[in-house]
Amino acid sequence: MGKGSRKARTERRAEGRRRKVRDVFVGRPFEGLAAEPELIALREFVPSATAPLTLADAGDKQVTLASVLPGAAAAMVRADGERFVGLQVQTRSSDVSRDVGRSLRWVLDAEPGAVLAAPDTTSEPSEHERLQDLLVADAELEPQLHEDFSWWMDADTEPTSEVALSLERANEAIKPTERIGPAAYWVDAGEKAHLRWVRQEDENEVLKALARLSVRGELALGEESRYAGSFRAHGLLVPVWDLDPDAHAREWVEPAKQLGARLEEALVSLAEQPLDAAERRARDGLIGRQFTLR
């Protein structure tokens, strides 16, 4: 067999190795960032929100993180020069942090009016392109929630017909949402209101702590509330509570703080007091009410 055939086999093996590296799924893509819970909330269920990013090394350039951009774009620069990176996009690779990081690098050098329709999900992995490489790791994220998507446009720019249509549809889909604590979001879903709370602790430990509170009868936020279940998103657990839809979001701020304190106490107690039989049964029941977002 000739050299050409050996070369072809070598190239195929090399390509296979590259694909294997690229396709390794990162189950917890934002791990290591203090903003991890807020990043997950903005990507998965917060409708209209923005937050300034704390960049590790970008000179005087500033970038705003957005829950979603027109057409679910990956990044854009408004006509006034303000730069945005979107989290809720239509395509993704095996590493969401790398996708967003690449969009962030793109927007830093983009000109006003430029739009990146989709994140780069096909290029070979390289160094310094994940969010962990580009952001200050211990910087918190303080999202600002908006009632609509008018912030897509600056005050002096008229939207194109395509953007105007996207804006109208996006506004119609918004469910009233308020942030009532760190990574804790109240949403009015119509017949019910919900609290969705992204927890940064290990998901198994959170489940144990929730089970302990359940056995104690301390898992609800008070009257007219109940624990509904949880979902997994990007490696973290997001417990969900059903709430009285007639109560305003502000009425749940203090109950949520108290629940958070009980949950913290339960988490600490696990180190010295493993779950007993009743708590293990409660944990198994909570696991049965889980599903995963990817």
**Of 65, 74, 135, the residue nearest 103 (C-alpha):** 74
pTM of the complete model? 0.90
Given 103, 136, 163, the domain boundary residue is 163
- Longest Cα–Cα distance in the chain: 79
Q: Are residues 200 and 86 in the same domain?
A: no
Domain closes at, from 134, 163, 192: 163
- Is residue 250 one of the residues assigned to a domain? yes
Last residue of a domain, one of 163, 194, 209: 163
pLDDT attached to residue 72: 94
Residue 187 lies in a domain: yes
Question: Within this chain, do residues 130 and 185 fall inside the same structural domain, yes or no?
Answer: no
pLDDT in tens, 2-11: 555 666 666 6
Do 142 and 202 lie in one domain? The reply is: no
Q: 257 in a domain, yes or no? A: yes
| 122 Cβ neighbours under 8 A, 6+ residues apart | 93
* 153 close to 78: Cβ distance less than 8 angstroms: yes
Mean pLDDT lowest among 60-64, 123-127, 182-186, 203-207: 123-127
155 and 184 together in one domain = no
Q: Is residue 17 over pLDDT 60?
A: no
Residue 21 is assigned to a structural domain of this protein: no
Domain count, the chain: 2
Query: Tens digits of per-residue pLDDT, 189-214?
Result: 988 999 999 999 999 999 999 999 99
- Flag whether 117 is in a domain: yes
159 and 188 belong to one structural domain: no
Q: How many other C-beta atoms can be found within 10 angstroms of the C-beta atom of residue 216?
A: 12
- 169's tokens: 């549809």
My answer on whether 45 and 115 are in the same domain is: yes
pLDDT digits 0-9 by tens, 20-60: 445 689 999 999 999 999 999 999 999 999 999 999 987 78
Q: What is the pLDDT of residue 21?
A: 46
Instruction: Please indicate, yes or no, whether residues 40 and 138 belong to a single structural domain of this protein.
Output: yes
Residue 52 lies in a domain: yes
Q: 250 and 133, same structural domain?
A: no
Specify whether 42 is located in the same domain as 159: yes
- CA 120, distance to chain mean position in Å, is 19
Same domain, 41 and 157: yes
Confidence of residue 186 (pLDDT cuts 50, 70, 90): very high
Judge whether 237 and 267 are in contact, CB under 8 Å.
Answer: no
CA distances from 24 to 15, 95, 173, 291 (A): 14, 8, 34, 22
Sequence-distant (6+) residues with CB within 8 A of 35 are 135, 139, 140, 141
Q: What is the pLDDT of residues 70-102, one digit of tens each?
A: 999 999 999 999 999 999 999 999 999 999 999
Question: Can you give the residue range of the structural domain that contains 61?
Answer: 36-163
Residue 11 lies in a domain: no
Q: Does 138 share its domain with 200?
A: no
Q: Do 237 and 156 fall within a single domain?
A: no
Let me know: does 114 contact 150? Beta carbons within 8 Å. no
- Any domain includes 22: no
Query: How many other C-beta atoms lie within 10 A of the C-beta of residue 229?
Result: 14
pLDDT at 146: 97
Residue 195: CA count within 13 A, CB half-sphere:
32
Pairing of strands 144-145, 49-52: antiparallel
